[in-house]
């Protein structure tokens, strides 16, 4: 027989999927985080979610041993926070429904170190963009992928989901991002030229914009490139370009954001182009541009003889 708390969890998951429009992946993650809390704390109803229950669960998470490739370590603070965020959102849902439980404001997140950005220089970026051999279809495709990443700041999943019917007569296109939210991104002349050259050489009829040139289908029985495939090709071209740092699609997204801010774009506009729901997520990039300003000040200010 389903317990009262399990029933509330199911209703909550349905709520965030239907009313809030969260993706199935987000719903799946929230289900996993809450299920683990319920499995540990064993609350029988909403009132059994107490300060003590949450504190004991946090201690359990903090002391959990996680085996990596070479070492054993404790669960990262940001991973622990995912569980607390899921629980807090669940408690907000209960409060909205007038169901007595712990106040969501009692759930505090662990402090984590300020996130550092993996960045590549402009010279490294230019070498990366020009690394594909455009004398063949795969190279034309890969050049289009790299140019599109830098032009738009798309997430890899967003780029994978694009179809070939995009209108290249316009300088913009709409994409569906996290939480099924639609935003507009903008195409540079370089990106449009690269995509046109790639599409002109394609002979298949697949609806995806970026496909396997070998005609080998992915695990879903499609030609569409997967996120993992695109991550691999970005790493391949970074190595080919002689870049020793780890380069991923997200690193190119970082370059897109810092390029905009470094050239004078306001943070709100960058937030919208990146599809960040919270401007605090975008503000990490201001630390990079602040450093650039400091370097400029050091280099050019008050050069007294």
Instruction: Please indicate, yes or no, whether residues 16 and 55 belong to a single structural domain of this protein.
Output: yes
pLDDT higher than 70, residue 295: no
Query: What is the percent of the chain where pLDDT is above 70?
Result: 88
User: So what's the pLDDT on residue 111?
Assistant: 80
Active-site residue numbers?
155, 178, 250, 253, 276, 285
Q: Which two tokens stand for residue 80?
A: 């622990």
Section 69-95 average pLDDT: 87
Structural domain count of the chain: 2
Q: Coil, strand or helix: which one is 224?
A: strand
Instruction: Please indicate, yes or no, whether residues 130 and 94 belong to a single structural domain of this protein.
Output: no
CATH number at residue 204: 1.10.443.10
User: So what's the pLDDT on residue 1?
Assistant: 43
| Contact predicate 207/163, CB 8 Å | yes
| Contact predicate 169/189, CB 8 Å | no
Instruction: Please indicate, yes or no, whether residues 243 and 167 belong to a single structural domain of this protein.
Output: yes
Least confident of 69-73, 209-213, 221-225, 268-272: 69-73
Instruction: Please indicate, yes or no, whether residues 175 and 281 belong to a single structural domain of this protein.
Output: yes
Instruction: Please indicate, yes or no, whether residues 269 and 136 belong to a single structural domain of this protein.
Output: yes
Alpha-carbon span 270 to 272, nearest angstrom? 5
Contacts 24+ apart (CB under 8 A), 275-283: 275/155, 275/158, 275/175, 275/177, 275/178, 275/181, 275/183, 277/178, 277/179, 277/181, 282/257
| Contact predicate 16/89, CB 8 Å | yes
Instruction: Please indicate, yes or no, whether residues 128 and 234 belong to a single structural domain of this protein.
Output: yes
User: So what's the pLDDT on residue 291?
Assistant: 61
pLDDT higher than 70, residue 296: no
Range of the structural domain that residue 187 is part of: 122-299
Instruction: Please indicate, yes or no, whether residues 271 and 209 belong to a single structural domain of this protein.
Output: yes
Instruction: Please indicate, yes or no, whether residues 150 and 259 belong to a single structural domain of this protein.
Output: yes
Instruction: Please indicate, yes or no, whether residues 131 and 86 belong to a single structural domain of this protein.
Output: no
CATH number at residue 87: 1.10.150
Instruction: Please indicate, yes or no, whether residues 236 and 154 belong to a single structural domain of this protein.
Output: yes
Whether the model clears a pTM of 0.95, i.e. scores above it, the answer is: no
Instruction: Please indicate, yes or no, whether residues 71 and 164 belong to a single structural domain of this protein.
Output: no
Query: Phi and psi dihedrals of 72, rounded to 5?
Result: -115, 130
Instruction: Please indicate, yes or no, whether residues 259 and 293 belong to a single structural domain of this protein.
Output: yes
């Amino acid at each position: 027989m389903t317990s009262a708390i399990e029933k509330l969890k199911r209703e909550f998951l349905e709520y965030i999927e239907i009313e809030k429009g969260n993706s199935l992946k987000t719903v799946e993650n929230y289900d996993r985080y809450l299920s683990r809390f319920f499995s540990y704390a064993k609350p029988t109803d909403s009132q059994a979610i107490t300060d003590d229950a949450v504190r004991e669960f946090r201690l359990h998470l903090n002391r959990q041993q996680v085996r990596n490739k070479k070492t054993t370590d404790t669960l990262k603070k940001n991973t622990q926070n995912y569980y607390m965020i899921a629980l807090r959102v669940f408690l907000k849902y209960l409060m909205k429904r007038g169901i007595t439980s712990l106040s969501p404001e009692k759930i505090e997140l662990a402090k984590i170190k300020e996130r550092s950005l993996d960045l590549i220089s402009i010279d490294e970026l230019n070498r990366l963009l020009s690394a594909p051999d455009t004398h063949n279809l795969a190279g034309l495709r890969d050049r289009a992928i790299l140019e599109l990443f830098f032009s738009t700041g798309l997430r890899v999943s967003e780029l994978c989901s694009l179809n070939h019917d995009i209108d290249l007569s316009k300088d913009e296109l709409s994409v569906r991002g996290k939480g099924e939210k639609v935003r507009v991104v903008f195409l540079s002349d370089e990106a449009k030229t690269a995509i046109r050259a790639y599409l002109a050489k394609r002979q298949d009829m697949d609806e995806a914009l970026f496909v396997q040139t070998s005609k080998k289908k992915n695990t879903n029985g499609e030609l569409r490139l997967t996120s993992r495939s695109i991550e691999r090709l970005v790493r391949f071209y970074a190595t080919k370009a002689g870049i020793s740092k780890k380069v991923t699609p997200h690193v190119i997204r970082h370059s897109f954001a810092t390029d905009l801010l470094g050239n004078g774009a306001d943070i709100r506009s960058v937030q919208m182009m990146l599809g960040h729901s919270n401007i605090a997520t975008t503000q990490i990039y201001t630390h990079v541009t602040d450093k650039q300003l400091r370097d400029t000040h050091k280099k050019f200010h008050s050069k007294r003889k």
